[in-house]
């Protein structure tokens, strides 16, 4: 028995999205409706009722883990997702290229996204890679991702995740000095390393030809690297050790790839999977079908729904849901071997159009496959899901899927 878990990020909506209807209610989704008809639906609180989820914590919970116990911070998932080799003891950060100006009072923030820099990040990353810290025994690894973003890790003995960030998040503010947020030498040593790397990044980046060219073209230079979200490596038992399955993730966004890698899944690269509204959903469907030849479990993450909702664009979210239905769900519906496959489809939280951010409202979820107890619901949306046979539950979607595939370990004897 094989399993497919599909998470459409920020799928859930509110009636304020489209004058009384959610985007999922407004979207034409004949293939998802067909799956709902064949299977069972319900509502899931990604972490628990009244808990407003982040994407990373929600994913951990849907994958069957307790984020209250395991979660150390986003940085580690960003580092893993971007391809850095994270080891126990490493301290991971989210990083961004920014623009600062030197004043008599020190460095002040001009733009925390360096004008949303669109090219040259590899050169910037290579320059950051030449930096050597004087803090003894501490080494830096860095990779750029999209636009101004990247991920950075510190490796060395006696480092701590308890350090404050350097990003002031406010134009005109002084760049923050990282401070130890816990007692002991490790936090002090880590804060010293962060402050050193911040100063050094400005020194090595400010006069790069790339930045002079940017300045000449009227663009903001990427002349400093700011870090935030320090996290150490969480101890997450792997999905293969729990269920005895070989699993893979298909995700355009580094964060989601990182969460899945931390849970022991392999990552499958799909050309055209961008983690945005322009992603190639057909290619993701093809890759899912192909992966089932070698994997027992395929987890597919689709991000565009959340992007459109953060942009408060109900039309874009609705259109993207229709694309998921036609370009991703339809080929699976047609070509999967439904005698040996179970599929779960849900979101990791609600992202309301009006609020433009994640909310605690539960999300529709559906399970389909031979072992699913079919209910009477024949469409897939927030309203129909409230009448479904799965009722309302919290997290645990992957364990439920694994149980349907007869892969779940027994609790007790």
Q: Which parts of this chain interact with Zn ion (CB under 5 A)? A: 9, 55, 306, 348
Strand partners, 249: 267, 299
User: Torsion-angle region of residue 33: left (phi > 0), alpha (psi -120 to 50) or beta?
Assistant: alpha
- How far does Cα 268 stand from its chain's mean position? 15
> In the bound complex, what is the minimum distance in angstroms from residue 347's beta carbon to Zn ion?
8
Residues 6+ apart with CB under 8 A from 384: 36, 41, 364, 377, 378
**In this complex, which beta carbon is closest to Zn ion, that of residue 144 or of residue 302?**
302
> Between 143 and 349, whose beta carbon lies closer to Zn ion?
349
Residue 139 neighbours by CB distance under 10 Å = 14
Q: Which is nearer to Zn ion, 85 or 311 (CB)?
A: 311
* 54 Rama sector, left if φ>0, alpha if ψ -120 to 50, beta otherwise: beta
* Beta bridge pairs of residue 40: 367
Given a contact cutoff of 8 angstroms between Cβ atoms, the answer to whether 142 and 128 are in contact is yes
Tokens linked to 95: 């990083």
Tell me the CA distances in angstroms from 284 to 8, 59, 62, 137, 181, one per residue in order.
Answer: 13, 19, 21, 42, 42
Length of the chain: 413
| Residue nearest Zn ion by beta-carbon distance | 55
For Zn ion, give the closer residue by CB, 148 or 317: 317
Which is nearer to Zn ion, 9 or 78 (by Cβ)? 9
Residue that the structure tokens 């694309």 belong to: 323
Nearer to Zn ion, 223 or 307 (CB): 307
Q: In the bound complex, what is the minimum distance in angstroms from residue 348's beta carbon to Zn ion?
A: 4
- Closest approach, Cβ 369 to Zn ion, in A, equals 25
Q: Which residue number, 191 or 300, has a Cβ lying nearer to Zn ion?
A: 300
Directed axis angle between helix 55-62 and helix 254-262, to 10°?
40
Identity of the residue, 166 or 346, whose beta carbon is nearer to Zn ion in the bound complex: 346
Residue 350 Cβ, how far from Zn ion at the closest point, in Å?
A: 10
Name the residue nearer to Zn ion (CB basis): 8 or 159: 8
Write down the least CB distance from residue 405 to Zn ion, Å: 25
Which helix (H) or strand (E) covers residue 371, if one does?
Answer: none
Please report how close the Cβ of residue 309 comes to Zn ion at its closest, in angstroms. Answer: 7
Separation in Å, CA 2 to CA 337, 345, 355: 10, 15, 38
One-character DSSP codes across 46-70:
SSSTT----HHHHHHHHTT--HHHH
Least distance to Zn ion from the beta carbon of 55, Å?
3
What is d(CA 12, CA 309) in angstroms, rounded to the nearest whole number? 10
The pair phi, psi for residue 107, each rounded to 5°, is -80, 135
CB of 249 to Zn ion, least distance (A): 15
Q: How near is the Cβ of 346 to Zn ion at its closest, in Å? A: 11
* Residues with Cβ within 8 Å of residue 264, at least 6 apart in sequence: 236, 238, 239, 240, 241, 247
Closer residue to Zn ion (CB): 198 or 305: 305
Q: How far is the CB of 153 from Zn ion (least distance, A)?
A: 23
């Amino acid at each position: 028995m094989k399993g497919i878990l599909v998470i459409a990020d920020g799928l859930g909506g509110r009636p304020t999205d489209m004058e009384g209807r959610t985007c999922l209610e407004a979207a034409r989704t004949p293939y998802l409706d067909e799956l709902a008809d064949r299977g069972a639906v319900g509502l899931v609180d990604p972490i628990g009722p009244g808990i407003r989820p982040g994407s990373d914590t929600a994913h951990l919970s849907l994958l069957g883990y307790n984020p209250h116990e395991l979660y150390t911070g986003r940085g580690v998932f960003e580092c893993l997702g971007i391809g850095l080799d994270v080891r126990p003891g490493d301290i991971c950060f989210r990083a961004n290229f920014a623009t600062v100006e030197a004043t008599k009072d020190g460095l002040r923030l001009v733009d925390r996204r360096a004008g949303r820099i669109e090219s040259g990040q590899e050169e910037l990353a290579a320059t950051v890679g030449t930096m050597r810290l004087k803090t003894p025994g501490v080494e830096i690894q860095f990779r750029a991702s999209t636009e101004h973003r990247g991920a950075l890790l510190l490796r060395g003995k006696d480092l701590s995740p308890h350090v404050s960030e350097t990003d002031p998040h406010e134009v005109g503010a002084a760049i923050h000095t990282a401070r130890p947020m816990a007692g002991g030498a490790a936090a002090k040593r880590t804060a010293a390393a962060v402050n050193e790397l911040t100063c050094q990044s400005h020194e090595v980046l400010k006069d790069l030809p790339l930045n002079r060219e940017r300045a000449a073209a009227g663009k903001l230079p990427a002349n400093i690297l700011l870090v935030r979200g320090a996290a150490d490596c969480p101890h997450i038992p792997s999905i293969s050790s729990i269920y005895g399955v070989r699993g893979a993730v298909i995700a355009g966004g580094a964060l989601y790839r990182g969460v899945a890698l931390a849970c022991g899944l392999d990552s499958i690269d799909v050309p055209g999977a961008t983690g945005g509204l322009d992603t190639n959903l057909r290619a993701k469907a093809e890759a899912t079908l192909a992966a089932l030849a070698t994997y027992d479990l395929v987890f597919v993450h689709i991000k565009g729904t959340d992007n459109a909702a953060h942009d408060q664009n109900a039309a874009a979210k609705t259109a993207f849901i229709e694309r998921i239905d036609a370009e991703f769900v339809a080929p699976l519906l047609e070509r999967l071997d439904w005698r040996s496959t179970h599929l779960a489809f849900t979101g990791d939280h609600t992202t309301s159009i009006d609020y433009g951010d994640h909310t605690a409202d539960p999300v529709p979820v559906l399970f389909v496959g031979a072992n699913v107890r079919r209910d009477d619901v024949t469409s897939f949306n927030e309203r129909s899901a409230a009448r479904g046979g799965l009722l309302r539950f919290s997290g645990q979607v992957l364990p439920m899927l694994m149980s349907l595939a007869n892969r779940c370990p027994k609790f007790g004897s």
